[in-house]
């Protein structure tokens, strides 16, 4: 197995406010890593750091196994700008190929094909000309997932992909991500606030609290973290 990301002794935060200290973990090709923990534990900050949107205060992140930092597909939490944005589904998905363009101003045929394939995978071809703002929450998430697939065929990073979706749509979303992971061999890193929902699909767990746990799902179930966190109330 090749390690795609190795994090050693990460210290993360903003200025004086340290959110994460002494965090180490490894992500290998094909893993499905689920990041769980309380609000404010620094989960989103960790993702932003992995994506290169902010710098770690200390520690080291190494990319390997043929993965570069800008080859990660990202599904962000929705921002308010996007909600009333006039853009067709096709335009949004295609914009995922922007990273492949470099300085070239327009998309080429290959990139358009990639976008088409991604839409096919997520069954949103019929929505191509629909306006993004007119879609349901679940459909919007699918569109953003397709966009993330355009950006990378190696790794996806998802920030609370099911927040705000009803249980049925959340289930569909989990299954789609699982298929992307198992069938396409794409590594998945996902933040989830719902451990019980997310764990059946994951191979590894990173639990962020005052202390950290990192290991396989089996190890997590046996650990004291898992014991307290997974017990039904």
Partner 1 sequence: MSAIADKLFMYFQYSFVVNALIVGVLIALCSSMLGVTLVLKRYSFIGDGLSHVAFGAMAVAAVAGFTDDMPFILLVTVAFAILLLRTGQNAKIKGDAAIAMISVGALAVGYLLMNVFSSSANVSGDVCTTLFGSTSILTLTKTQVGMCGVLSAVVIGVFVLFYNKIFAVTFDENFARAAGTPVGTCNLLLAVLIAVIIVLAMNLVGSLLISALVIFPALSAMRIFNSFKSVILCSALFSVVCAFAGIVLSILAGTPVGATVVMIDMLAFGAFYVTGSLKNGG
Contact residues for partner 1 (CB under 8 A)? 48, 51-53, 70, 72, 74, 76, 79, 81-82, 85-88, 90-92, 95-96, 98-99, 101, 105-107, 129-131, 134, 147, 151
Identity of the residue, 85 or 120, whose beta carbon is nearer to partner 1 in the bound complex:
85
Smallest separation (angstroms) from partner 1 to the CB of 221:
32
Smallest separation (angstroms) from partner 1 to the CB of 71:
8
Identity of the residue, 61 or 131, whose beta carbon is nearer to partner 1 in the bound complex:
131
Smallest separation (angstroms) from partner 1 to the CB of 86:
5
Smallest separation (angstroms) from partner 1 to the CB of 202:
22
Smallest separation (angstroms) from partner 1 to the CB of 5:
14
Smallest separation (angstroms) from partner 1 to the CB of 159:
10
Distance CA 132, CA 134 (A): 5
Beta-sheet pairing, 155-159 with 187-191: parallel
Identity of the residue, 189 or 199, whose beta carbon is nearer to partner 1 in the bound complex:
189
**189 and 27 in contact (C-beta within 8 Å)?**
yes
Identity of the residue, 124 or 199, whose beta carbon is nearer to partner 1 in the bound complex:
124
**24 and 10 in contact (C-beta within 8 Å)?**
yes
Residue 111 in tokens: 């990139």
Distance CA 38, CA 23 (A): 16
**3 and 28 in contact (C-beta within 8 Å)?**
yes
Identity of the residue, 155 or 199, whose beta carbon is nearer to partner 1 in the bound complex:
155
Helix (H) or strand (E) holding 59: strand 58-63
Burial class of residue 26 (count of CB atoms within 10 Å of its CB; 0-12, 13-18, 19+): middle
Identity of the residue, 115 or 199, whose beta carbon is nearer to partner 1 in the bound complex:
115
**56 and 12 in contact (C-beta within 8 Å)?**
yes
Distance CA 89, CA 71 (A): 22
Question: Residue 123 carries which DSSP code?
Answer: T
């Amino acid at each position: 197995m090749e390690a795609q990301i190795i994090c050693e002794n990460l210290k993360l935060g903003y200025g004086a406010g340290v959110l994460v200290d002494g965090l180490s973990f490894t992500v290998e090709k094909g893993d499905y890593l689920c990041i769980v923990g309380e609000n404010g534990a620094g989960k989103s900050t960790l993702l932003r750091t992995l994506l290169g949107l902010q710098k770690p205060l200390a520690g080291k992140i190494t990319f390997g196994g043929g993965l570069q930092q800008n080859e990660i597909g990202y599904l962000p939490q929705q921002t308010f700008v996007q909600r009333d944005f006039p853009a067709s589904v096709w335009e949004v998905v295609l914009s995922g190929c922007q990273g492949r363009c470099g300085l070239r101003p327009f998309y080429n045929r290959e990139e358009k094909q990639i976008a088409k394939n991604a839409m096919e995978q997520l069954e949103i071809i019929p929505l191509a000309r629909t306006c993004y703002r007119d879609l349901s929450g679940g459909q919007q998430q699918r569109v953003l997932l397709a966009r993330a697939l355009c950006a990378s065929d190696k790794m996806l990073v998802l920030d609370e992909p099911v927040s705000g979706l009803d249980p049925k749509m959340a289930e569909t979303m989990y299954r789609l991500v699982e298929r992307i992971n198992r069938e396409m061999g794409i590594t998945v890193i996902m933040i989830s606030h719902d451990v019980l929902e997310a764990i059946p699909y994951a191979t590894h767990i990173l639990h962020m609290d005052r202390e950290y746990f990192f290991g396989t799902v089996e190890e997590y179930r046996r650990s004291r973290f898992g014991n307290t966190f997974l017990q039904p109330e």
